[in-house]
Structures are given as C-alpha cells and as structure tokens.
Amino acid sequence: MHPAKSVIYFTVATGAGYGLFFWLALLAFLGVLPADKFMGFVMLAIAFGLIVTGLISYTGHLGRPERAWRALSQWRSSWLSREGIMAILTFIPMGIFGIYWVFLGQNTGFTALVGLVGAGMALVTVFTTSMIYASLKAIPAWYNIWTKIGYLVLSLMSGAVLTLALVSAFGLDELALFLLLPVAVLLLLGLVAKVFYWRHIHAGRVVSTAESATGLGRFGKVSQAASPHSADNYLLKEMGFKIARKHAAKLRWIAIVFGFVLPFAIIGLTANFIEIRDLAAQIFMGIAAASCILGLVFERWLFFAEAKHVVTLYYGETKV
C-alpha cells in the first residue's frame, strides 16, 4: 500500500497524543500529578496539538475535505465513521479535564474522574483507528490481531515516553522515577508486539493467489501475459506500492533501534547515572522521546509499504 505522509502522520501523532492524555489523566487520578496551571497548559497543549494536527492531516488527504462531516453518519457499519465519532466524543471529557486543570488549577477529584473517562475513550479511539486497517480482509498484512495490539501498545508506549520527557522537563523527579517502570515495560511490549506482527506477516501465509483471483488455477500456474494498460493506474499507484525486501529489513532495524532500543537505553542510563533535575537528564529524556517518535514513523511507513493488497494478483503478483 502507498505510504501516504498524511496518514503516517495521522496515525503516529494521534496515537502519541491519545497515549499522552491517557497517562496524564491516569497520573491525575492517582493523585501524583501537580495541579500547576502552566504545566497543565504545556502538557495538554502537546497532547491536543498532536491529536488535532493528526486529525487535520487525515482530513486534508480526503478528496473532498469540506464534506468530512458526512463521515460521522455510518457508525453502524464503518470503522472510519466510528473513529471520527469517537475522536469527537473524546474531546468532551478531554476538554473538561483540560479546562479544570489549566484554568482552575484542579486535576483531582471530579476532574480526575472525567479525565479517566477521557483516558478510556482515548484508548477506544485508538482501537477504532486500528480497526480501519484491521477490518480490511483484502490486505492480509493488516487483517490480523497484531495490527490492533500494535496500535494500542504503541499509543500507550509513545504516550508514556512523552509523559516521562515532560515530567522530567518540569523537574518532577519523583514522578519521573515512578514512570520508569511502565515506560520500560511498554517499550518491551511494543517491541514484542511489532516483532510478532512482522513474524506474522512474513510467515508465508497465503490468503489468495493469482490462481484464485482469476479462477484459472485449473489450467496450471497463472502468470500475467499482458497488462491491460501501458501506464500505472490508480490501483497500481495506490495499492501496488512495492518495497524491496532488503530495504524492508533495513528499515525494520531502524524502526527497532530508534523506536524501542535507543529510548530504552537512553532512559535507563539517564535514570541511573544523572539526577532527573539536571538539565542533561531533561535533554536526554527529550532525545529519548524524539527517537521513539522517529522510530514509530519508520514503523508506520513500513506498516503501509509492506502491506500487499490482493488486487496486485491481477497485476503479476503470484500470492498475497
């Protein structure tokens, strides 16, 4: 599948934004998040910023963005519609939580409860995003449980890494130490989820073949003798994206190193050897977060680029 920049940004940014909100709301609920207004403003601005720009990026890639509101109508059958509705509904508890924290300096009690509802809804929204892809049977690389697990875990993971960087930046060393364990666990889980995803899609499972696509298997192996058109059409541009295997392997390593290994190493070393209040520690935590997001951009690029669509069987692919 064609890896469109707008959709890569949409999934990575909203995933990280919802994950960040999840952790902020959870920490508020646990009563460990100081109710400082300025800090609340900065943290929530980043969470909202990631989510809103992600959604705008997706909307911008539509053929008719001005009609985007129509996408809210078909929640009975369409995961994209459900995603749109969940994204909008989630803004309600998120907004209330934000107003209480940023303007009234409160983030416990009722505010925290509303925040927790928002955190739950944020995860549901991420799940609906994953289902846009995981519900497409014609793309076997997406039509599996690892797609859903991947989106959820990576959202929680990138959100946790961002939260850690932010609480470090505000000098909240105790909170940073408190977050170390969940961050470490999530980085491991994220890596495991992706490794299982890659193993799944490269296990050689075959769903459809050129023989089943044409029904000509009864006469033997089917190969393309002539293309119906001389230049690439919409199908080939959108769904015929091909990436060389050796590049995919390299990019997978880049995603693993930047997305999981480096953040894990940087955060671990920083926490062990530097005081979180030190500027150096704050910078390192920021670098870890940036590395993680960069790794996820590669991971998401591969998620699209490696996914083969069964329509390619009509254009020379032998099995998908």
Point out which residues bind other proteins (CB under 8 A): 1, 62-65, 67-68, 70-74, 76-81, 84, 132, 135-139, 207-208, 210, 212-216, 218-235, 238-239, 309-311, 314
Query: Measured from the CB atom, is 125 or 158 closer to other proteins?
Result: 125
Closest CA to 98 of 52, 135, 148: 52
Give the integer Cα–Cα distance in Å for 262 and 287: 9
Q: How far is the CB of 133 from other proteins (least distance, A)?
A: 9
Strand partners for 280: none
Residue 97 near residue 120, CB atoms below 8 Å: no
Query: Measured from the CB atom, is 229 or 246 closer to other proteins?
Result: 229
| Structure token pair of residue 102 | 């940023």
Q: How far is the CB of 144 from other proteins (least distance, A)?
A: 15
Query: Measured from the CB atom, is 211 or 278 closer to other proteins?
Result: 211
| Structure token pair of residue 261 | 């290994």
Query: Measured from the CB atom, is 53 or 74 closer to other proteins?
Result: 74
| Structure token pair of residue 170 | 């505000």
Q: How far is the CB of 146 from other proteins (least distance, A)?
A: 18
Q: How far is the CB of 223 from other proteins (least distance, A)?
A: 5
Query: Measured from the CB atom, is 36 or 238 closer to other proteins?
Result: 238
Q: Which residue has the tokens 């929640």?
A: 75
CA 64 to chain centroid, in Å, comes to: 24
Query: Measured from the CB atom, is 260 or 303 closer to other proteins?
Result: 303
Q: How far is the CB of 190 from other proteins (least distance, A)?
A: 26
Q: How far is the CB of 206 from other proteins (least distance, A)?
A: 10
Cα angle 31, 34, 39; round to 5? 140
Output the DSSP codes for 155-215.
HHHHHHHHHHHHHHHTT-HHHHHHHHHHHHHHHHHHHHHHHHHHHHHTS---S-BHHHHHT
